[in-house]
Structure 1
Amino acid sequence: MEQDIRTWIAAWNTDPKPYIWTKTADEILERLASYLNRIPDSED
């Protein structure tokens, strides 16, 4: 598995493409907070 990951990284690095975020940081954090509120004991 490690070799597969290293192979993928090498291939990706030959033609990398930037990740384009489609939401703001605030939108992402709001969504994460709503998920955490639904998980029991997530505040510990």
Structure 2
Amino acid sequence: MTDYDMCAQFYAWGIDIAPYVGLMITSDEYKQITGNDYAAGANA
């Protein structure tokens, strides 16, 4: 399972994946998974 797949699964389970941006996924991948733009700091 890739980091992207793992974060997508976390999101499906209702887990906030914003803390994983920059560690496991990029902000573009965050948008692909959630449909929302990632704004650093705003999601913390």
TM-score (norm 2): 0.31
Which structure is richer in relative contact order (CA contacts within 8 A, separation 6 or more)? 2
For the pair shown, which has the larger CA radius of gyration, 1 or 2? 1
Q: Which protein is richer in helix relative to its size?
A: 1
